[in-house]
C-alpha cells in the first residue's frame, strides 16, 4: 500500500489564519470583528436616516402630536376650583350634601379669604365662568360677590380706628406681624405657592416679610390674610409691604382671632393695641350672614354641591356633558330632555358625512372613469376643471351656494321660470341639511375624483375587451371585471371625504342653519365664544375616537391594504 501525495496548502496554512481572529471570528479590513463592524455600519446608517427625517418628525410632534396630547389633557383637567379656593375645598370635605343644609361657618370664612385673594388677582371671574358651565348663574354670583368683599372689613376698620388710629397704618401692621420671635418662613412660602397656582405664574423674588411663629399661633386667621396681602403686594404689585395699608380681609381675620386669642402671655410688639381692641368687644358679624346678605344664592345648597362636585383636579364632567350626561353628588345621570343636544349632533354628523361620501362616490365615479378613458388632451382639459375649485377660496364657494340655494336664488328662479315650482311655494334648500350636503359635496368632490382617477388609470383596457370577447355584456364586463379593480380608489376617496367632512365647520355654519350644523360647529363655538375649552376638548376627543373606531372597522371589513391612491 503506497502513500498518497498531497499538493497545495494545508487547511492550517498562514494564508487562512490571517483572515480570522484569535477566537476564529472573521475580521474586517481594519482588524475589527466583522460582526461588530457590520453593526456599527448599520447604526451609522440608521442615525443618518434619522437625521434626514428629524425635521419632519419634530414638525409632526409640535403641530400634531402635542396639540392632541394637550386636547386630551384639557378634557379632564379641572384644577381651577382647587387652585382658586384651596381653603374652601378643604373645609367642604367634611360637608355632606345629603343633609340639604348649607355648610357651617368655617366654610364661609375660608371662602371669604380665598375669594378676597382671587378678587385681587382678578381670578374669581374665571372661576365663576368655569362653574357656570355646570350651574347657570354662578358666573354673576362670583362677579358680584367679588365687588362687595371690601365692605366686610371696612366696618371693622372704622371701629378699630376709633380705638387706635395706628390700625390703618401699614408700618404698624408690619411691626405687629413680624413680632420679635422666630419667623415662620414655611407658612409664608405656602401662601406664595397658593398664589402661584391661582395665577398660574412663577413669582420669583423676595416678599420682604415673614410672620413670627408666635403671632402665627396667636392670630392664625390674621396671619393667613396678612400673608396673602404681603405676597401679592411684594410679588405682583412690586411694592414694599411695610409701606402699604393691609387689605380689609386682614381686619376680618383679626376680629375672628380676637374672640379666642389669649393675650395674657403675649408681650410682643403692639401688644397694648391688641389688648385694647380685644377689650373693646367689637360686635362680630359671621361670614355666613355676610354672604347671605350679599346674595341669597350663597345659602343655596345646590351652589355648594356644585363647588364640591367639581373641586377635584381631574373630572369626567366634560366627557359626561359631551354625551348629554352630568356629574352630580349622587353620581352620573342624564341631563333633562330639553338640554340633550350633543348625541343628536353626533348622529347628525355621522349621517350627513356618510351622505356626503355617498354623493361624492355617485358623482365622482363617472367623472373619474371619463378622465381615465378619454384621450390625453381631453382628459387634461377635464382635469383642469376638476382642480379649478382648489384655486377658489372655500368661503367664496360656500357663499356662492348660499346665493344659489336661497328661495330668491338662481335655482329657484330657474325652476319657477320652467314652471316646475310655483312662485308662492319656492323650495327651501338653504339653512338645512340639504344645503349642507349639496355645498359640501361640491367642495369635497375633487378629493373623491383624484384617487379614483389614479386607480382607474392603472386598469388596463384590455381586460374589458377580453371579457367582451368571451361573451360578457357591457354591464357584466364592467361589474365583474372593471369595478372590483376600482374598489381601492373608492376606499381611498371615501376615507378622505368622510374624515374631511366629519370635521368641517365653515360650510355648515354658513349654509346649515339650525338643522344642518355638525358637532364641529359646537366645538368651534366652545373654543371661540363660550371659552369652555374643556368641553370642546372632550367633544374633539370623542370625535377622534369615533374616527379611529370607524377606521378600525373599515380595516377589519375591507382591509386598509386594499386602499390605494394609485
Q: Which of 540, 562, 389 lies closest to 488 in space, CA to CA?
A: 562
Q: What is the pLDDT of residues 93-122, one digit of tens each?
A: 888 888 888 899 999 999 999 999 999 999
Task: Give the confidence band of 29 by pLDDT, cuts at 50, 70, 90.
Answer: low
Which string of DSSP letters, residue by residue, matches 257-309?
A: HHTT---TT--STTHHHHHHHHHTTPPPPPHHHHHHHH-GGGG-HHHHHHHHH
Q: What is the pLDDT of residues 38-53, one digit of tens each?
A: 888 888 888 888 888 8
What percent of the chain is predicted at pLDDT more than 90? 36
Q: What is the pLDDT of residues 52-101, one digit of tens each?
A: 888 888 988 888 888 888 888 989 999 999 999 999 999 998 888 888 88
- DSSP-based three-state secondary structure for 33: strand
pLDDT for 452 equals 92
* Higher-confidence position of 107 and 1: 107
Average pLDDT over residues 381-396: 87
Q: Please, what is the angle between helix 342-373 and helix 433-456, to 10°? A: 40
Element (H, E) at 106: helix 105-120
pLDDT for 124 equals 92
Task: Give the confidence band of 304 by pLDDT, cuts at 50, 70, 90.
Answer: very high
pLDDT for 25 equals 66
Residue 548 has pLDDT above 50, yes or no: yes
Residue 1 has pLDDT above 70, yes or no: no
Rounded CA separation 308/96 (Å) = 10
Q: Per CATH, is 342-562 categorized as 1.10.3720.10?
A: yes
Q: What is the pLDDT of residues 252-295, one digit of tens each?
A: 999 999 888 888 888 888 888 888 988 888 888 899 999 999 99
Task: Give the confidence band of 150 by pLDDT, cuts at 50, 70, 90.
Answer: confident
User: Which runs of consecutive H residues, i.e. helices, occur in 148-286?
Assistant: 149-163, 170-178, 185-199, 213-218, 220-231, 248-258, 271-279
Average pLDDT over residues 510-525: 90
Domain limits, the chain: 79-311, 342-562
Residue 184 has pLDDT above 80, yes or no: no
The cell 434619522 sits on which residue?
50
- DSSP-based three-state secondary structure for 327: strand
Q: What is the pLDDT of residues 471-496, one digit of tens each?
A: 889 899 999 999 999 988 898 899 88
Residue 358 CA, distance from chain mean position: 32
Give Cα separations from 379 to 52, 174, 233, 451, 497 (angstroms): 38, 87, 74, 15, 23
pLDDT for 4 equals 46
Residue 437 has pLDDT above 90, yes or no: yes
Residue 21 has pLDDT above 80, yes or no: no
Q: Which of 113, 140, 318 lies closest to 195 in space, CA to CA?
A: 113
pLDDT for 6 equals 47
Residues 6 or more apart whose CB falls under 8 angstroms from that of 408 comprise 426
Task: Give the confidence band of 360 by pLDDT, cuts at 50, 70, 90.
Answer: very high
Q: Which of 167, 312, 315 lies closest to 248 in space, CA to CA?
A: 167
Rounded CA separation 320/125 (Å) = 24
Average pLDDT over residues 338-360: 93
Q: What is the pLDDT of residues 417-430, one digit of tens each?
A: 988 888 888 888 88
Q: Is 322 exposed, middle or buried (0-12, 13-18, 19+ CB in 10 A)?
A: buried
pLDDT for 30 equals 66
pLDDT for 332 equals 87
Q: What is the pLDDT of residues 361-384, one digit of tens each?
A: 999 999 999 999 888 888 888 888
Rounded CA separation 232/244 (Å) = 11
Q: Which of 562, 384, 389, 368 lies closest to 450 in space, CA to CA?
A: 368
Average pLDDT over residues 334-352: 91
For strand 325-328 and strand 331-334, is the pairing parallel, antiparallel, or unpaired?
Answer: antiparallel
Element (H, E) at 332: strand 331-334
Q: Which residues pair with 333 in a beta bridge?
A: 326
Computed on alpha carbons and rounded to an integer, the radius of gyration of the chain in Å comes to 38
Average pLDDT over residues 336-350: 91
Amino acid at each position: 500500500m503506497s502513500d498518497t501525495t498531497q499538493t497545495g496548502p494545508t487547511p492550517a496554512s498562514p494564508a487562512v489564519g490571517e483572515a480570522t481572529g484569535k477566537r476564529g471570528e472573521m475580521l474586517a479590513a481594519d482588524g475589527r470583528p466583522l460582526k461588530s463592524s457590520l453593526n456599527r455600519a448599520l447604526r451609522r446608517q440608521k442615525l443618518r436616516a434619522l437625521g434626514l427625517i428629524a425635521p419632519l418628525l419634530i414638525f409632526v410632534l409640535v403641530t400634531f402630536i402635542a396639540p392632541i396630547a394637550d386636547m386630551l389633557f384639557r378634557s379632564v383637567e379641572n384644577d381651577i376650583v382647587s387652585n382658586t379656593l384651596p381653603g374652601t375645598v378643604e373645609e367642604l370635605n367634611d360637608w355632606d350634601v345629603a343633609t340639604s343644609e348649607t355648610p357651617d361657618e368655617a366654610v364661609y370664612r375660608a371662602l371669604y379669604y380665598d375669594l378676597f385673594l382671587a378678587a385681587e388677582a382678578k381670578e374669581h371671574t374665571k372661576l365663576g365662568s368655569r362653574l357656570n358651565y355646570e350651574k347657570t348663574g354662578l358666573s354673576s354670583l362670583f362677579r358680584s360677590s367679588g365687588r362687595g368683599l371690601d365692605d366686610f372689613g371696612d366696618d371693622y376698620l372704622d371701629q378699630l380706628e376709633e380705638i387706635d388710629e395706628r390700625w390703618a397704618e401699614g408700618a404698624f401692621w408690619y411691626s405687629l406681624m413680624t413680632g420679635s420671635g422666630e419667623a415662620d418662613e414655611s407658612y409664608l412660602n405656602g401662601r406664595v405657592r397658593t398664589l402661584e397656582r391661582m395665577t398660574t405664574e412663577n413669582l420669583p423674588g423676595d416678599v420682604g416679610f415673614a410672620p413670627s411663629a408666635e403671632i402665627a399661633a396667636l392670630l392664625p386667621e390674621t396671619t393667613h390674610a396678612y400673608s396673602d396681602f404681603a405676597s401679592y403686594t411684594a410679588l405682583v404689585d412690586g411694592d414694599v409691604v411695610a409701606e402699604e395699608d393691609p387689605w380689609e380681609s386682614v381686619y376680618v381675620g383679626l376680629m375672628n382671632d380676637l374672640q379666642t386669642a389669649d393675650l395674657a402671655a403675649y408681650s410682643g410688639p403692639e401688644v397694648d393695641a391688641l389688648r385694647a381692641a380685644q377689650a373693646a368687644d367689637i360686635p362680630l358679624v359671621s361670614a355666613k350672614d355676610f354672604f347671605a346678605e350679599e346674595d341669597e344664592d350663597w345659602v343655596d345648597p345646590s351652589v355648594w354641591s356644585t363647588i364640591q362636585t367639581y373641586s377635584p383636579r381631574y373630572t369626567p364632567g366634560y366627557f359626561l356633558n359631551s354625551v348629554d350626561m352630568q356629574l352630580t353628588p349622587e353620581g352620573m345621570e342624564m341631563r333633562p330632555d330639553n338640554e340633550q343636544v350633543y348625541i343628536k349632533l353626533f348622529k347628525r354628523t355621522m349621517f350627513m358625512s356618510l351622505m356626503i361620501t355617498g354623493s361624492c362616490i355617485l358623482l365622482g365615479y363617472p367623472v373619474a372613469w371619463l378622465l381615465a378613458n378619454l384621450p390625453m388632451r381631453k382628459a387634461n382639459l377635464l382635469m383642469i376643471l376638476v382642480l379649478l375649485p382648489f384655486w377658489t377660496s372655500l368661503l367664496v364657494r360656500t357663499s356662492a351656494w348660499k346665493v344659489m340655494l336661497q328661495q330668491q336664488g338662481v335655482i329657484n328662479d330657474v325652476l319657477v321660470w320652467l314652471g316646475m315650482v310655483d312662485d308662492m311655494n319656492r323650495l327651501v334648500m338653504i339653512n338645512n341639511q340639504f344645503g349642507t350636503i349639496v355645498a359640501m359635496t361640491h367642495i369635497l368632490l375633487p378629493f373623491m375624483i383624484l384617487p379614483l382617477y389614479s386607480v382607474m388609470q392603472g386598469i388596463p383596457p384590455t381586460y374589458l375587451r377580453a371579457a367582451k370577447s368571451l361573451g360578457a355584456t357591457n354591464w357584466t364586463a364592467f361589474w365583474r371585471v372593471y369595478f372590483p379593480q376600482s374598489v381601492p380608489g373608492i376606499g381611498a376617496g371615501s376615507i378622505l371625504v368622510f374624515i374631511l367632512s366629519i370635521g368641517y365647520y365653515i360650510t355648515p355654519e354658513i349654509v346649515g342653519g339650525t338643522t344642518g350644523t355638525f358637532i364641529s360647529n359646537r366645538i368651534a363655538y366652545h373654543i371661540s365664544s363660550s371659552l369652555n375649552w374643556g368641553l370642546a376638548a372632550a367633544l374633539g376627543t370623542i370625535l377622534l375616537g369615533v374616527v379611529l373606531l370607524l377606521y378600525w372597522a373599515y380595516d377589519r371589513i375591507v382591509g386598509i391594504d386594499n386602499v390605494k391612491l394609485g
